[in-house]
Amino acid sequence: MPMYLYWYYNTLHGNGYAMVLNNASSRIAHSTISDNTHGVVINSSFPDFCADGGGGGYNAITCSITPLFRADNSSNVNMGYWSQGGYNSVFGSELPDMEARNSSGIWADRTYWGSDQPAIYADATSWITARFPLASDPNPGSCLGYSAPSSFDINSTANKANESSTQGGNASKYAAAIANGREGYFQKAKETLLTLIDGEYDYKYSPLALLSFYEFTLNEKNTKNQSGLTDSLNAGLNDLLAKVCKRAKGDSLIPYALRFLAREAALAHNARGMISYNTEIITNYPNSSNELSALYDLTTHYAEIEQDFTKADQYYSRMVTAYPKEDLTLFAGINLGSNQASLKQVMLADADHLLTDYDLSNAFPNPFNPITTITYQLPKEGLVTLKIYDILGNEVRTLVNEQKEMGRYTVTFNASSFASGMYVYQLRANDFISTKKMLLLK
């Protein structure tokens, strides 16, 4: 059975959300996605915005008030890799044209950005490539409501993060594995990725390595499907995921493996397995992007498959409480057919994506050892300080102390030199102050 759902020669225009992909492996080409209020939201998915055989995508994804692309929660998006794919037009958002969060990546080589500088943002766990930008639009006339250049002024932190995305030991290994995988040398790629998966945990490249190992196994299964050689690939993938799940409790890679096991169970129509894996994530890994995805999958399953709206509403209530500003919470509410009051609450939460409020997110992971990430949001520019204090109130580290523009930022805290215990982190920006706790366990 083909791996991809093909979407060719489509027009999506004037909608609320242009497209939502969840646990999807779609191939999209020769399509116009323009003048929608929100862009393409990609969650735990592996779409290709290019034609079969490495052909150009020739998609025009243009003009919205939120990011045209948001890859989230362990997603890998292929729009163009070196000489493969490309020829997509991406421009005209009032925020970043592309955003990658929570161990996600977007290959966007040979893209037309509408200006000399692509407006892209990747948090500390993710990456976006934007090599070989096109000088002219391969898909002219697609954006009816706005002029081409994005109004988002990309911050220097995001630029530096993307420029250094292939530097360093683990980064170089990851880049080499991706190069081999994109050329079809799947075994060689997966051997390199295994060194990152089995080695010392790297908050960025260990989850990305597991994500790419999973994606390349899917690609390999697809190419060998006609020969009936997929059983060994399935066994090898499941053995690796099971091995990761047997690591010591608290290992940061376990919830990612559980997510992929849940996805495989769902694809095999094993509802009991899917529910079990997602429940384990919710129980053991709260306040994380993995919990958010698990909650969404269970809400959708109980509402649409089992028609058990009592259970669906239980999971949805947790989403509204813990993740009121996330796209998945909005979509879950719509799928569930929330009452008018609940739906209004979620819609108001979604409006916060326009960065109208300050926000300090929960550190992730938490508890952690020794690295965690802290994300904060600024609705306007100002002097920002982000400081760490011990439980006695002594300042032990300053993570940020500088002028920042409007936007969403992610900072890494490495506590390798600190003793185990409770720590407090405090964000100050203009008149806004927020304080939260995190637990270091060594």
Task: Output the domain CATH number for residue 436.
Answer: 2.60.40.1930
Smallest Cα–Cα separation from 18: which of 33, 6, 3, 1? 33
Other CB atoms within a 10 A radius of the CB of residue 170 amount to 17
Three-class SS string for 155-192?
CHHHHHHHHCCCCCHHHHHHHHHHHHHHCCCHHHHHHH
Task: Output the domain CATH number for residue 247.
Answer: 1.25.40.10
Rounded to the nearest 10 degrees, what angle do helices 327-336 and 289-300 cross at? 10
Domain that holds residue 389: 359-440
Q: Can you give the pLDDT at residue 337?
A: 66
Distance of alpha carbon 350 from the chain centroid: 17
Same domain, 236 and 262: yes
Predicted confidence (pLDDT) per residue in 176-197, tens digit: 999 899 888 999 999 999 999 9
Banded model confidence at residue 211, pLDDT cuts 50, 70, 90: very high
57 near 108, Cβ under 8 Å?
no
pTM: 0.69
- Residues 194, 177: Cα–Cα separation, whole Å: 10
DSSP at 264 = H
Q: Can you give the pLDDT at residue 341?
A: 38
Banded model confidence at residue 103, pLDDT cuts 50, 70, 90: very high
Banded model confidence at residue 168, pLDDT cuts 50, 70, 90: low
Structural domain ending residue among the three candidates 109, 142, 163: 163
Same domain, 154 and 215: no
- What's the mean per-residue pLDDT of the chain? 83
Structural domain ending residue among the three candidates 327, 354, 381: 354
* Least confident segment among 97-101, 145-149, 422-426: 145-149
Mean pLDDT to the nearest integer, 204-226: 84
Q: Can you give the pLDDT at residue 225?
A: 60
37 near 15, Cβ under 8 Å?
yes
pLDDT(245) > 80: yes
Banded model confidence at residue 164, pLDDT cuts 50, 70, 90: very low
Same domain, 248 and 344: yes
- Residues 183, 177: Cα–Cα separation, whole Å: 10
Same domain, 222 and 328: yes
Banded model confidence at residue 231, pLDDT cuts 50, 70, 90: low
Same domain, 152 and 176: no
Structural domain ending residue among the three candidates 129, 163, 197: 163
Q: Can you give the pLDDT at residue 409?
A: 83
Q: Can you give the pLDDT at residue 388?
A: 95
Count how many domains the chain has: 3
Predicted confidence (pLDDT) per residue in 15-71, tens digit: 778 888 988 888 999 999 988 888 899 999 999 999 887 789 999 999 888 888 899
pLDDT(156) > 70: no
DSSP at 48 = B
Three-class SS string for 226-239?
HHCCCHHHHHHHHH
- Residues 241, 238: Cα–Cα separation, whole Å: 5
Same domain, 189 and 304: yes
Q: Which residue has the tokens 């959708």?
A: 300
Alpha-carbon radius of gyration of the chain? 21
- Residues 388, 395: Cα–Cα separation, whole Å: 6
Same domain, 221 and 336: yes
- Residues 188, 175: Cα–Cα separation, whole Å: 13
Same domain, 200 and 216: yes
- The set of long-range contacts for 189-195, using a CB threshold of 8 Å and a minimum separation of 24, is 189/216, 190/216, 190/217, 194/240
Same domain, 156 and 195: no
Predicted confidence (pLDDT) per residue in 358-417, tens digit: 889 888 788 888 888 888 888 888 999 999 999 888 999 999 999 988 877 878 889 999
Q: φ, ψ for residue 183 (rounded to 5)? A: -85, 0
Q: Can you give the pLDDT at residue 293?
A: 94
Same domain, 343 and 421: no
Smallest Cα–Cα separation from 318: which of 304, 336, 6? 336
Q: Can you give the pLDDT at residue 143?
A: 57
DSSP at 197 = H
pLDDT(226) > 50: no
Listing DSSP states for 104-132 in one string gives: -EEEE-SEE-SSSS--EEE-TT-EEE--S
Q: How far is CA 62 from CA 11, 181, 305, 351, 405, in A?
A: 12, 30, 34, 20, 24
Same domain, 29 and 101: yes
Q: φ, ψ for residue 352 (rounded to 5)? A: -65, -15
Q: Can you give the pLDDT at residue 4?
A: 57
Strand pairing partners for 409?
376
Other CB atoms within a 10 A radius of the CB of residue 183 amount to 14
Same domain, 99 and 114: yes
